[in-house]
């Protein structure tokens, strides 16, 4: 009788064995054993079951409970609400990551530009007769040449991205 009552009330609340087991902090197999009558929950667990299923303990130990259909609309709406909450959190997290990436890259571009301005192209005074110095000077000059011309466009794009992804 106890096993049938646990199963009937659990189903009427719209809980699977897995969900019910998680709420009780037991494994699903334990719930299955209770419902098949292979074992019986102890008194403390019976009180916990009663709390989770919002049913008095006397109902579990008393008469056979008639099976009632769970309020399908309520169960579906609760699950949809949980899914929507998860999706909203994920979307917010992605937006924050993107926003801070834009801000971080914009700061990095500004710092690089500031370093280039403050250093003042020291490679222009190097002696290019040494091949290694000539190669290094050429690479630094090439980087500076490309960076100074592309960084304003990159910075504008990063600032626009940061503005578009900020909290609304």
Residue ranges covered by each domain of the chain: 2-70, 73-164
Question: For residues 37 and 48, what is the distance between their CA atoms, to the nearest angstrom?
Answer: 18
DSSP string, 104-129: HHHHHHHHHHHHHHHHT-GGGGS-TT
Contact between residue 56 and residue 12 where contact means Cβ atoms under 8 Å apart: no
Alpha-helical segments (H) within the chain: 2-12, 17-24, 28-36, 43-53, 57-61, 72-119, 131-164
Residue 64: the pLDDT is 58
- CA distances to 62, 91, 134 from 3, in Å: 12, 43, 86
- Which structure tokens are listed for 20? 């019910």
Residue 162 is classified by DSSP as H
pLDDT digits (tens, 9 = 90+) for 113-148: 999 999 888 888 888 899 999 999 999 999 999 999
pLDDT in tens, the chain (168 residues): 788 888 888 888 888 989 989 999 999 999 999 889 888 888 888 889 988 888 888 787 776 555 556 566 777 888 888 899 999 999 999 999 999 999 999 999 999 999 999 988 888 888 889 999 999 999 999 999 999 999 999 999 999 999 999 987
Which CATH class for the 2-70 domain? mainly alpha
pTM equals 0.51
Query: What confidence tens digit (pLDDT) does each residue in 144-161 have?
Result: 999 999 999 999 999 999
């Amino acid at each position: 009788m106890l096993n049938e009552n646990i199963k009937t009330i659990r189903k009427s609340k719209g809980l699977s064995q897995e969900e019910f087991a998680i709420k009780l902090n037991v494994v699903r197999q334990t719930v299955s054993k209770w419902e098949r009558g292979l074992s019986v929950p102890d008194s403390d667990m019976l009180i916990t079951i009663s709390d989770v299923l919002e049913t008095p303990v006397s109902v579990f130990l008393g008469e056979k409970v008639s099976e009632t259909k769970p309020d399908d609309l309520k169960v579906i709406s609760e699950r949809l609400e949980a899914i929507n909450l998860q999706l909203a959190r994920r979307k917010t997290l992605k937006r924050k990551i993107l926003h801070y990436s834009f801000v971080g890259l914009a700061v990095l571009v500004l710092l690089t530009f500031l370093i280039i301005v403050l250093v003042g192209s020291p490679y222009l005074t190097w002696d290019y007769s040494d091949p290694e110095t000539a190669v290094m000077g050429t690479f630094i000059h090439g980087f500076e040449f490309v960076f100074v011309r592309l960084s304003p466009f990159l910075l504008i794009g990063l600032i626009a991205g940061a503005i578009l992804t900020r909290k609304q």
